[in-house]
């Protein structure tokens, strides 16, 4: 008997648009899903030829130039929003009006108020909403969450996270939309620190109650064109580095740094969590491994154990391959989509939802406020 179909419409065809396309294309190949994914239509701002080429390449059946038409089509069940942050709100609210299930990329919005509006728009409707914190969907991070939930770390003492990249380190690198506040909302903060903040919430289940932060623009002017590094310059209006100290509602403290100026760090998204009974450490640059220190072992055998979290018994079964073969960046999105369409099929809610996106956004906004006002901000 044929499975029920879930018909997807995607908005956006850049980096995240590609990641989503791959996920929809392959989720049903890697995982036994209760539904069949139909890649119905992609919409993006481009020439018809290029959009057609994209659709053909990634497997979308149709193209649509106007996202408003897309989100109101009757033959679409799920809208995937993979556009820059400033566009999220309108698209999501419109999709919600049309009762579409929605996967929206992170950060949910460019500010907290917008994020709240978006959450309000989906609440009370029988639709599933998801915020794209994709790093939750690796076997190693899911294992960390499970160990903590199982009490293996005991009382949580502190969280230490750093997300470091280096693609902006060259002062002559050209201006991009991610460096403009009106388009991106913030810089390293929304782009990557948001992942760390969500990861700490995901793993510990604890919420940030107050924080103090320092956001800084390290290179204030950049060439508008990569081809003319000494030509006209534009102003960078977002943070290049974001540093945060915080308190959690479980009594733990946290320390975060996000930067795109750490030469040699390509996608160094790492987190360490220490508790009374043990510790975990994860670094995306070795994404298939979780390091776990179990303080209940005999003392002489204690240390960080490097667990290749790709065994069948690990969360997500370690991905589609035998243990040790490992998954890559794209596979997090595949797992995310597999879980999302399953939730939709089963009529269950999905985590991370818009509520998670809102909570994260509130933290991001407090970070900006704290940095501007040079003071601690309470989130209570």
- b/e burial code for range 140-159 (CB count within 10 A of at least 16 → b): bbbbbbebbeeebbeebeeb
Interface with a second copy, residue 375, by CB under 8 A:
yes
Q: Considering only residues 304, 343, 355, 362, which one is a binding residue for a second copy as defined by CB under 8 A?
A: 304
- By CB under 8 A, the residues from 19 to 38 that bind a second copy are 21-22, 25-26, 28-29
Interface with a second copy, residue 359, by CB under 8 A:
no
Assigned token pair, 22: 């791959």
Interface with a second copy, residue 171, by CB under 8 A:
yes
CB closer to a second copy, 159 vs 340: 159
Q: Considering only residues 61, 72, 209, 214, which one is a binding residue for a second copy as defined by CB under 8 A?
A: 214
Interface with a second copy, residue 231, by CB under 8 A:
no
**Burial (CB count <10 Å: 0-12, 13-18, 19+), residue 294:** middle
CB of 374 vs a second copy, minimal distance in Å: 5
Q: Considering only residues 162, 195, 201, 222, which one is a binding residue for a second copy as defined by CB under 8 A?
A: 162
Q: Considering only residues 328, 348, 349, 372, which one is a binding residue for a second copy as defined by CB under 8 A?
A: 328
- b/e burial code for range 171-206 (CB count within 10 A of at least 16 → b): eebbbeebbbbebbbbbbbbbbbbbbbbbbbbbbeb
Q: Which of 66, 105, 128, 157 minimizes the C-alpha distance to 361? A: 105
CB of 229 vs a second copy, minimal distance in Å: 14
Number of chain residues interacting with a second copy (CB under 8 A): 95
Interface with a second copy, residue 301, by CB under 8 A:
yes
Q: Considering only residues 221, 225, 253, 349, which one is a binding residue for a second copy as defined by CB under 8 A?
A: 253
Q: Considering only residues 196, 279, 342, 361, which one is a binding residue for a second copy as defined by CB under 8 A?
A: 279
Longest dimension (CA), the chain: 65
* Positive or negative torsion for Cα 177, 181, 183, 187: positive
């Amino acid at each position: 008997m044929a499975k029920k179909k879930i018909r997807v419409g995607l908005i956006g065809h850049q980096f995240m648009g590609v990641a989503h396309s791959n996920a929809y294309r392959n989720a049903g190949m890697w995982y036994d899903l209760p539904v069949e994914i139909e890649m119905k239509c992609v919409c993006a701002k481009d020439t018809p030829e290029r959009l057609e080429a994209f659709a053909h390449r990634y497997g979308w059946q149709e193209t649509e130039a106007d996202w408003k038409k897309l989100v109101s089509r009757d033959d679409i069940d799920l809208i995937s929003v993979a556009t820059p942050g400033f566009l999220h709100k309108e698209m999501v609210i419109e999709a919600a009006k049309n009762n579409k299930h929605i996967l929206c990329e992170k950060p949910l919005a460019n500010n907290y108020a917008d994020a709240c509006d978006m959450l309000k728009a989906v609440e009370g409707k029988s639709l599933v909403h998801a915020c794209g914190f994709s790093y939750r969907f690796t076997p190693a991070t899911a294992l960390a969450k499970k160990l903590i939930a199982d009490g293996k770390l005991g009382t949580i003492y502190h969280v230490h996270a750093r997300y470091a990249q280096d693609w902006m380190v060259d002062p002559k690198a050209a201006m991009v939309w991610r460096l403009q506040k009106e388009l991106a909302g913030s810089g390293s903060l929304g782009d990557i620190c948001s992942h760390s903040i969500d990861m700490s919430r995901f793993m510990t289940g604890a919420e940030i109650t107050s924080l103090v932060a320092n956001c800084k623009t390290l290179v204030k002017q950049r060439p508008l064109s990569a081809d003319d590094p000494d030509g006209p310059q534009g102003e960078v209006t977002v943070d290049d580095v974001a540093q945060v100290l915080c308190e959690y509602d479980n009594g733990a403290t946290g320390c975060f740094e996000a930067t795109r100026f750490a030469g040699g760090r390509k996608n160094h998204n790492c987190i360490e969590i220490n508790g009374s009974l043990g510790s975990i450490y994860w670094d995306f640059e070795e994404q298939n491994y979780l390091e776990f220190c179990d303080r209940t072992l005999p003392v002489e055998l204690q240390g960080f154990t490097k667990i290749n979290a790709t065994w069948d018994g690990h969360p997500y079964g370690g991905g589609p391959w035998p243990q040790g073969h490992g998954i890559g960046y794209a596979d997090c999105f595949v797992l995310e989509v597999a879980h999302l369409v399953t939730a939709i099929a089963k009529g269950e809610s999905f985590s991370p939802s818009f509520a998670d996106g809102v909570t994260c956004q509130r933290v991001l906004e407090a970070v900006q406020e704290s940095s501007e006002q040079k003071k601690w901000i309470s989130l209570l």
